[in-house]
């Protein structure tokens, strides 16, 4: 699969929303995703094959810290390196970031393994963080090595 990674623009919002609602139990709304275009702290990247969005990564960055809000890949395109490519691009574009955090469902072993390959470590658990169904989350953290 060939894809390119771009910053999210208005033309990408509908595709991101489609992946979002098909990937998460409590997805962000179209309006919430579109609103990120006006958020000066937001960093949204899309992986595009032709005109079709295959995946995206959303994050907020304040000073030298980042928080990954969501990473999702279109069903049928998973396990093809798209999420890894998005993470690589995120770190390339945000070289001044020294710490990044995210939450992940404790049952999402493929995502946990992906994050661990990038150097994220589980630092704590958040009881009943997710709803529909209720589930704990791991708080994972990446720190730049000094």
Cut 0.75: pTM above it: yes
Residue 61 has pLDDT above 80, yes or no: yes
The CATH architecture that domain 4-143 belongs to is 3-Layer(aba) Sandwich (3.40)
pLDDT of the residue at 65 = 96
Query: CA angle 125-109-111, nearest 5°?
Result: 90
Catalytic annotation, residues: 103, 115
DSSP 11: G
* Model confidence pLDDT, tens digit, residues 16-42: 999 999 999 889 999 999 999 999 999
Structure tokens belonging to residue 133: 């169904």
3-state SS assignment for residue 34: helix
Contact yes or no for 139/94 (Cβ under 8 A): no
* Model confidence pLDDT, tens digit, residues 92-127: 999 889 999 999 999 999 999 999 999 999 999 999
**What residue segments make up the domains of the chain, in order of their start?**
4-143
């Amino acid at each position: 699969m060939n894809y390119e990674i771009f910053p999210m623009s208005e033309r990408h919002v509908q595709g991101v929303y489609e992946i979002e609602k098909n990937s998460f139990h409590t997805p962000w709304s179209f309006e919430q995703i579109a609103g990120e275009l006006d958020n000066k702290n937001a960093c949204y990247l899309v992986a595009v094959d032709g005109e079709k969005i295959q995946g995206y990564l959303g994050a907020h960055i304040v000073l030298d810290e980042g928080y990954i809000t969501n990473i999702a890949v279109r069903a049928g395109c998973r396990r093809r390196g798209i999420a890894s490519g998005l993470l690589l691009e995120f770190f390339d574009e945000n070289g001044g970031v020294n710490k990044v955090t995210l939450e992940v469902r404790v049952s999402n072993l493929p995502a946990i393994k992906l994050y661990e390959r990038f150097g994220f470590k589980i630092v704590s658990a958040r009881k009943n963080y997710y709803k529909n169904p209720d589930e704990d989350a791991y708080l994972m953290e990446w720190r730049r090595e000094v």
